[in-house]
Amino acid sequence: MTETQRQSVPRVDSGELDTSLAFLRFARECVIKKLDGLDEEQARRVLVPSGTSLLGLVRHLCDGERYWFGYHLTGLGSEPDWDRGMTAEPGQRIVDVVEQYRAAIADSDAAISRLGDPAALAVMPVDGQPKTLRWTIAHMTSETARHAGHADILREQIDGATGR
């Protein structure tokens, strides 16, 4: 099967932070790309019992960016309503959700840049234990990559588009 959305993995290997961010950015872009060329109905289409849609998945990742790099890492903002799952909100449009996700990403990258040191501690502990910027980037990369895989499957079911 030809991969119609193929993108090469990063080749960055110049340091811990640069390499980590390259892979996080790669995963983020893979998710956003899954909405390319879809209409609003396709982006909202629910194909699994959990109610997950591509649009809802991107909205969920936006919440994750704001939580892990905002609230958790810097103490800014608040914890999102995780009970919303990965469903699209009524009236949300693809362009708006992607814009919100890109804004959350820019805020996350700015917070990472301000801290600059992978060993810097986050403001909010996890399960009572302090975590580092390193841990936060690794956690968010794994979450984003995991959801990118979900997005791959949903997109293939919608119109056959494949690839990372």
Per-residue pLDDT tens digits for 6-29? 566 656 567 899 999 999 999 999
Amino acid at residue number 45 = R
| Domain edges within the chain | 16-159
Q: Is the pLDDT of residue 116 over 50?
A: yes
Residue 34 · residue 61 · CB < 8 Å: no
Structure tokens at 113: 């840049």
Please give the average per-residue pLDDT across 102-115, as a whole number.
96
- The CA-CA-CA angle for residues 15, 18, 23, to 5°, reads 120
Closest residue by Cα to residue 30 from 108, 89, 105: 105
Please give the average per-residue pLDDT across 50-60, as a whole number.
96
pLDDT-above-90 percentage for the chain: 79
CA 161/CA 137 separation, integer angstroms: 29
Predicted pLDDT at 10: 53
Predicted pLDDT at 26: 95
CA 104/CA 112 separation, integer angstroms: 12
Fold adopted by 16-159: Four Helix Bundle (Hemerythrin (Met), subunit A) (1.20.120)
